[in-house]
Amino acid sequence: MRFSTKLIHAGEPEPRIGGALALPIFQTSTFEHAGRSGYHEVKYARLSNTPNHDALGAKLAALEGTEAGLVTASGMAAISAALLATLGAGDHLIAHESLYGGTHGLLTQDLAALGVEVTFVDANRPETFAAALRPKTRAFYVEAITNPLLQVVDLDAVVAFARAHGLTTFIDSTLATPVNFRPAERGFDLVLHSATKYLNGHTDVVAGAVAGSAAGVANVKKKLDHFGGSLDPHACFLLARGLKTLELRVERQNRTALAVAEHLSRHAAVAEVFYPGLPGHAGYARAEAWFRGAGGMLSFRPAGGAGAAERFLAALRLATSAPSLGGPETLVTRPVTTSHAGVPADERARLGIGDDLVRVSIGLEAVEDLLEDFERALG
Ligand SMILES: *Cc1c(COP(=O)(O)O)cnc(C)c1O
CA distance 126 to 109: 26
Q: Which of 54, 59, 91, 100 is catalytic?
A: 100
**Pairing relation of β-strands 190-194 and 208-212?**
antiparallel
* 174 touches ligand 1 (CB under 6 Å): yes
pLDDT exceeds cutoff 80 at 195: yes
Instruction: State the chain's mean pLDDT as an integer.
Output: 96
Query: Angle between the 367-378 and 246-265 helix axes, to the nearest 10 degrees?
Result: 30
pLDDT in the model for residue 60? 98
Every domain range in the chain assigned CATH 3.90.1150.10: 246-378
Q: Among 25-39, 60-74, 122-136, 225-239, where is mean pLDDT lowest? A: 25-39
Q: Is 0.85 topped by the overall pTM?
A: yes
pLDDT exceeds cutoff 90 at 181: yes
pLDDT in the model for residue 111? 97
Query: What amino acid occupies position 300?
Result: F
Instruction: Return the higher-pLDDT residue of 101 and 275.
Output: 275
Q: Which of 54, 91, 154, 172 is catalytic?
A: 172
pLDDT in the model for residue 344? 83
pLDDT in the model for residue 35? 77
Average pLDDT over residues 359-369: 98
pLDDT exceeds cutoff 90 at 241: yes
pLDDT exceeds cutoff 80 at 34: no
Distances in whole angstroms, Cα of residue 280 to Cα of each of 52, 261, 372: 44, 11, 24
pLDDT in the model for residue 81? 98
CA distance 326 to 340: 18
Q: Strand, helix or coil at 140?
A: strand
pLDDT exceeds cutoff 80 at 5: yes
Q: Whose CA is nearest to atom 4 of ligand 1?
A: 75
Q: Which of 43, 46, 136, 222 is catalytic?
A: 46
pLDDT in the model for residue 166? 98
Active site residue 222: no
Average pLDDT over residues 320-348: 91
pLDDT in the model for residue 125? 97
What CATH class does 3-243 carry? alpha beta
pLDDT in the model for residue 238? 98
* 74 touches ligand 1 (CB under 6 Å): yes
pLDDT exceeds cutoff 80 at 307: yes
* 75 touches ligand 1 (CB under 6 Å): yes
CA distance 74 to 55: 18
- The CA 194 to ligand 1 mean position distance, Å, reads 4
Average pLDDT over residues 62-91: 98
Active site residue 369: no
Average pLDDT over residues 5-26: 96
In order, the DSSP letters of 164-187 are HTTPEEEEE-TTTHHHH--GGGGT
CA distance 266 to 24: 49
**At 38, is the pLDDT very low, low, confident or very high (cuts 50, 70, 90)?**
confident
**At 221, is the pLDDT very low, low, confident or very high (cuts 50, 70, 90)?**
very high
Q: Whose CA is nearest to atom 1 of ligand 1?
A: 194
CA distance 250 to 63: 14
* 208 touches ligand 1 (CB under 6 Å): yes
Query: Is the Cβ–Cβ distance between 235 and 206 less than 8 Å?
Result: yes
CATH topology of domain 246-378: Aspartate Aminotransferase, domain 1 (3.90.1150)
Which distant-in-sequence residues (6+ apart) come within 8 Å of 261 by Cβ?
273, 275, 277, 278, 298, 300
Average pLDDT over residues 137-151: 97
Which distant-in-sequence residues (6+ apart) come within 8 Å of 254 by Cβ?
180, 277, 292, 293, 294, 295, 296
**At 40, is the pLDDT very low, low, confident or very high (cuts 50, 70, 90)?**
confident
* 296 touches ligand 1 (CB under 6 Å): no
**At 338, is the pLDDT very low, low, confident or very high (cuts 50, 70, 90)?**
confident
Every domain range in the chain assigned CATH 3.40.640.10: 3-243
pLDDT in the model for residue 350? 87
Active site residue 6: no
**At 37, is the pLDDT very low, low, confident or very high (cuts 50, 70, 90)?**
confident
Average pLDDT over residues 301-328: 96
pLDDT exceeds cutoff 80 at 346: yes
Give percent of the chain with pLDDT exceeding 90.
92
Active site residue 141: no
pLDDT in the model for residue 340? 83
